[in-house]
Amino acid sequence: MTPSQRSSPAGSDDPSAPATRLVIAYAFAPDADTSAVAAVKRVAVDGEPCDVISNDLRAIRGRDDSLEEVVAGLVRRRAVLDTPPMFGGWSSILSFCRAGQRTLRAWDGQPAGTAYTSVYSRAHFIAAHFLAALVVRERPGLSWRAEMSDPLSRSATGEPREGPVPRGAVAEDLAEALAARGVRMDPAATTYEWAETLAYTLADEVVFTSAGQRDYCLAHVSDDRVRAALEGKAVV
């Protein structure tokens, strides 16, 4: 256990069914947050035993303890990471990713291990897609389902969303993963543009809330390869 996480044994009453899916949801039960509610519903509907990595949002969100009851029988292990809760700050994304990677290394050493077959991530909070991209890069063969709440790189008025530009080793590692698919990031691309491109290019399935949202996001993809990749994996 590291100082940057809190874990709870939710769903551990049935150890004969270990987690087959890793859920990376920056907001999750019991956060009183729309994205948390959507992630909880997704886990409940899928009905698959899972381990969950989320972030501590107590500083910016209230609690809805009823959400935990919805997935109590499905969540095997839960790590709530103690990293700065921000939407698109690069330093906070790095903190979340590093803490998430430490969590997975710790779980690797436990009897249940981390023999996942799939990864699910959800953004509104974009750090979830960054960590998911790193996980599938480190663990080839995992199926990644990325769910989008709203267009990440566009504001509510349709204007490009301003944000920092990723730099350093993690950005370089993810850039290599994209380059292997023939995609190169604009040097001035923001964290929001990165999150979209990572999900659109590397995920096996990208889930949108509506056909309108899907079409809107497709229309704002400037890279032909990314658009072609997304067209073949976008679902509603």
pLDDT cut 70: percent of the chain above it: 93
In this predicted model, what pLDDT tens digit does every residue of 197-226 receive, in sequence order?
999 999 999 999 889 999 999 988 989 999
The residues near 71 (Cβ < 8 Å, ≥ 6 apart) are 10, 11, 29, 40, 43, 44
Q: What is the CA radius of gyration of the chain?
A: 17
How much is the pTM? Answer: 0.90
Q: 26-30, 47-51, 75-79, 102-106: which has the minimum mean pLDDT?
A: 26-30
pLDDT at position 61 is 87
pLDDT at 111 over 60: yes
pLDDT score recorded for residue 14:
55
SS (H, E, C) the chain: CCCCEEEECCCCCCCCCCCCEEEEECCCCCECCHHHHHHHHHHHHHCCCEEEEEECCCCCCCECCHHHHHCCCCEEEEEEECCCCCCCCHHHHHHHHHHHHHHHHHHHCCCCCCCCCEEEEEECCCHHHHHHHHHHHHCCCCEEEEEECCCCCECCCCCECCCCCCCCHHHHHHHHHHHCCCCCCCCCCCHHHHHHHHHHHHCCEEECCCHHHHHHHHHCCCCHHHHHHHHCCEEC
Express each pLDDT in 142-180 by its tens digit: 999 999 977 888 888 888 889 999 999 999 999 999 999
Q: What whole-number distance in Å separates Cα of residue 48 and Cα of residue 182? A: 33
Longest dimension (CA), the chain: 50
Question: Residue 87's pLDDT band (boundaries 50, 70, 90)?
Answer: confident
Q: Is the pLDDT of residue 6 over 70?
A: no
Q: Evaluate the CA torsion angle 226, 119, 136, 140 in order and state its sign.
A: negative
Q: What does the alpha-carbon distance between residue 153 and residue 54 come to, in Å, rounded to a whole number?
A: 22
User: Would you kindly state where each structural domain of the chain is located, as residue ranges?
Assistant: 5-235
Domain with residues 5-235, CATH architecture: 3-Layer(aba) Sandwich (3.40)
